[in-house]
């Protein structure tokens, strides 16, 4: 959420930043509401001062026997009391109106974020690995002979509808091994603390990270009001909600492997084949909570953590800096990591690492206090996939596919697969 003071200080700059994101100028609307709110507060304070003065004079009028003045002052006190209550209620309503409006406005991009309207305007900043050279036409994951038996889309569709899959046998084991490998790497090499969090949350948690109120259609809600998390970014970041930590307790770095649920609203017809875009999937998430001056370096660190997973798996990838029109609602800067999928002959997103500044921490009241400081400050929050497990499975299978339909698996997974290194043509690990 935005600090109203920064909008007051430079409304033109605020509108210009929104324009870069493709949003309409709105500072004049915000400031009109804010002016009305402050006018009501000022009037309430003035009425309170008048009431207090009259209250002090009531006793003196009574003591002097001036019945007329006594009644006038007593009536004035009563009138001012009602006026104050009315003004305070009006100010509260206007304050809620202002807050609700601010909650719908996206974060402002940093100056170095490229201006653009969509993914075509993103800027490649890094590339790693050589693309595999096959002497045959590369297949998509679900068509590979050794894989097809372990991915059942038809039965899943009977149970749940489209965009679900049942993984079985060796494919399910490789999927599990990938998640385990990611967690082990992040906790033993990257210094992240593993956390197991709920997948059901209240409204407040979704508001805190920016999924609500604007993007409710992108998530699933239960009949009793809970939300299924679209990513464990929601729960990991909300660990800091409504708390004030000490400076020496930062940074806090978390990782979690969890189920994620997305309605995929607005993506009709996109990636309907295979398991690239599912309603239910798994991710290993990374979240950092840091001091403001550390957030830029922390984004670099987080991005390298995600890149390192792909490098250990020997999967070619590229990193792009997202343009203003392609960033998520809460982000100030985002690095997307795209893995090479031979079956599609394209790079596809597998991780999105973002710094949000104090945008989320203001929404959830997450603060820290510097040593010796009188007032607390808002922390900065960052999040990133480390990685999307299903998409990583797709990349492993497609990049390792052989002409006979078998799959050579990354060496780094051997210890998580009981020493197995290959998926044979019958779909059995050996």
* Short-list 2, 11, 41, CA closest to 29: 11
H or E, element range at 167: strand 166-167
- Compare 66 and 210 and report the one with higher pLDDT: 210
Summarised one tens digit per residue, pLDDT across range 270-280 is 677 899 999 99
Q: How confident is the model at residue 267 (pLDDT cuts 50, 70, 90)?
A: low
* Short-list 239, 251, 183, CA closest to 360: 239
Tell which phi-psi region holds residue 266, choosing left (phi > 0), alpha (psi between -120 and 50) or beta: left
| Residue 66: predicted pLDDT | 78
CATH 3.30.930.10 domain extents, the chain: 119-423
| Residue 61: predicted pLDDT | 80
Mean pLDDT within 188-210: 98
User: Taking the complete model, does pTM exceed 0.75, yes or no?
Assistant: yes
Residue 200 in tokens: 């059901």
Mean pLDDT within 252-265: 94
Mean pLDDT within 189-204: 98
Summarised one tens digit per residue, pLDDT across range 53-94 is 988 888 888 788 878 888 888 889 899 999 999 999 999 999
Q: Does the structure show a pLDDT above 80 at 269? A: no
Mean pLDDT within 409-426: 97
Report d(CA 21, CA 324) in Å as an integer: 5
Q: How confident is the model at residue 385 (pLDDT cuts 50, 70, 90)?
A: very high
Report d(CA 300, CA 112) in Å as an integer: 14
Helix axis angle for 389-400 and 169-188, nearest 10°, is: 110
User: 3-state class of 163 per DSSP?
Assistant: coil
- Extended beta strands in 342-393, E state: 346-355, 366-369, 377-378, 380-388
Q: Does the structure show a pLDDT above 90 at 226? A: yes
Q: How confident is the model at residue 156 (pLDDT cuts 50, 70, 90)?
A: very high
The partner residues of 256 in beta bridges, in order of sequence, read: 285
CA atoms within 13 A on the CB side of 394: 33
Q: Does the structure show a pLDDT above 90 at 37? A: yes
H or E, element range at 187: helix 169-188
CATH 1.10.287.40 domain extents, the chain: 4-102
Q: How confident is the model at residue 268 (pLDDT cuts 50, 70, 90)?
A: low
77-80: long-range contacts (C-beta < 8 A, 24 or more apart)? 77/51, 80/47, 80/48, 80/50, 80/51, 80/54
Helix axis angle for 169-188 and 295-312, nearest 10°, is: 140
The fold of 119-423 is BirA Bifunctional Protein; domain 2 (3.30.930)
The fold of 4-102 is Helix Hairpins (1.10.287)
CA 244 to chain centre: 21
| Residue 301: predicted pLDDT | 98
Q: 238: which DSSP letter?
A: G
In 189-335, where does DSSP find H-type helix? 203-209, 233-237, 295-312
Percent of the chain whose pLDDT exceeds 90: 91
Please enumerate in sequence order all residues whose Cβ is within 8 A of that of 162, keeping only pairs 6 or more positions apart, or say none: 272
Mind giving me the DSSP string for 36-85?
HHHHHHHHHHHHHHHHHHHHHHHHHHHHTT-HHHHHHHHHHHHHHHHHHH
Report d(CA 345, CA 343) in Å as an integer: 6
Please enumerate in sequence order all residues whose Cβ is within 8 A of that of 351, keeping only pairs 6 or more positions apart, or say none: 306, 336, 337, 384, 385, 386, 387, 388
Mean pLDDT within 97-102: 96
Report d(CA 316, CA 361) in Å as an integer: 35
Mean predicted lDDT score pLDDT of the chain: 95
Residue 333 in tokens: 């800067």
Report d(CA 319, CA 301) in Å as an integer: 14
Q: Does the structure show a pLDDT above 70 at 181? A: yes
In 266-401, where does DSSP find H-type helix? 295-312, 359-364, 389-400
Omega before residue 387 within 30° of 0, cis:
yes
CA 115 to chain centre: 21
Mean pLDDT within 336-357: 98
């Amino acid at each position: 959420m935005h600090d109203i003071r920064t909008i007051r200080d430079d409304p033109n700059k605020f509108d210009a930043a929104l324009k870069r994101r493709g949003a309409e100028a709105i500072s004049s609307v915000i400031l009109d509401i804010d002016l009305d709110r402050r006018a009501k507060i000022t009037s309430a304070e003035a009425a309170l001062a008048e009431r207090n003065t009259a209250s002090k004079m009531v006793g003196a009028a009574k003591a002097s026997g001036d019945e007329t003045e006594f009644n006038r002052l007593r009536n004035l006190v009563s009138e001012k009391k009602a006026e104050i209550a009315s003004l305070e209620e009006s100010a509260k309503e206007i304050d809620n109106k202002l807050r609700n409006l601010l909650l719908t406005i996206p974060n402002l991009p940093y100056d170095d974020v490229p201006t653009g309207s969509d993914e075509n305007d993103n800027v490649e900043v890094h590339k790693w690995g050589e693309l595999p050279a096959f002497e045959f036409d590369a297949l998509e994951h679900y068509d590979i002979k050794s894989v097809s038996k372990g991915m059942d889309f038809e039965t899943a569709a009977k149970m749940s509808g489209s965009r679900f899959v049942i993984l079985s046998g060796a494919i399910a084991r490789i999927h599990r091994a990938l998640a385990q490998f990611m967690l082990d790497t992040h906790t033993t090499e990257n210094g992240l603390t593993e956390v197991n969090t709920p997948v059901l949350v209240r409204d407040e948690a979704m508001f805190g990270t920016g999924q609500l109120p604007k993007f409710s259609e992108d998530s699933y809600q239960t009949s009793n009001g809970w939300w299924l998390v679209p990513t464990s970014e929601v729960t990991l970041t909300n660990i800091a909600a409504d708390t004030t930590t000490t400076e020496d307790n930062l940074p806090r770095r978390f990782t979690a492997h969890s189920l994620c649920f997305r309605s995929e609203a607005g993506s009709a017809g996109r990636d309907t084949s295979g398991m690239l875009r599912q309603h239910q999937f798994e991710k290993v998430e990374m979240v950092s909570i840091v001091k403001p001056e550390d957030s830029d370096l922390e984004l670099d660190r987080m991005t390298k953590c995600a890149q390192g997973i792909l490098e250990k798996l020997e999967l070619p990838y590229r990193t792009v800096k997202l343009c203003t029109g392609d960033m998520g609602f809460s982000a100030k800067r985002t690095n997307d990591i795209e893995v090479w999928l031979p079956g599609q002959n394209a790079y596809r997103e597998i991780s999105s690492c973002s710094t949000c500044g104090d945008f989320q921490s203001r929404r959830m009241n997450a603060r820290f206090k510097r040593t010796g400081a009188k007032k607390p400050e808002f922390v900065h929050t960052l999040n990133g996939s480390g990685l999307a497990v299903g998409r990583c499975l797709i990349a492993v299978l497609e990049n390792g596919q052989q002409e006979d339909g078998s799959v050579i698996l990354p060496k780094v997974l051997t210890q998580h697969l009981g020493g197995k290194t290959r998926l044979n043509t019958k779909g059995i690990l050996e």
